[in-house]
Chain A
């Protein structure tokens, strides 16, 4: 069975400092991986995706994620947090053999302090 684990349910950072959101996945083979962001009372917006091309993936709003197969990780980072980054972030895996169904991590809520 495929599962996605986000290691932190809440992360608090100061504006201007780096952000690290951790995600591990379990799967018998490399799935496609995504990070989505959900701002309060909004839908999910795609930040970036990994689909077995470059292991370092750059997304929107200065975010990037690195796929590490040996660690089964896909951590999301941003060098300098902005107040507008306060939101909930979901690490998501897709397994094509399962009909393109998404498996969601539990989410990490990011608080940005001024």
Chain B
């Protein structure tokens, strides 16, 4: 049963610290999406990759957030420095570029104190 995996599942850190979240897309998928879920804003798209290339990161605060795909099996989302307002659940999703369904990981619950 292929699934998107995300690590860590939970992260508590202090303001100013660097946070790195990792995502392993389903093997063979060539699109990866990063979303953030908060009570106030709901689900927001942060970044979108196809074939490891970033296609859209307009939803991401550029000054502190960065997203990369070092290889086809790993996507990372970094926050440096982290702020309390970054507290949220961060989801990764993957899919095929020619197919519309996105498959979501379990999320990383981030709390910045």
Contact = CB atoms under 8 A, between A and B. Distances in A.
Given A99-B56, A101-B56, A46 B42 contact: no
Contacts of B103: 46
B90 to A, nearest CB: 11
Interface residues of B, number: 23
Nearest to B92: A43
A43 B48 contact: no
Binding site secondary structure of chain B: strand
Contacts of B73: none
Given A43-B106, A96-B100, 18 more contacts: A32-B100, A41-B109, A42-B106, A43-B4, A43-B91, A43-B104, A44-B91, A46-B101, A51-B100, A99-B50, A99-B55, A100-B31, A100-B100, A101-B45, A101-B56, A102-B33, A102-B102, A104-B43
Interface of B: 4, 31, 33, 42-43, 45, 48, 50, 55-56, 91, 93, 95, 97, 100-107, 109
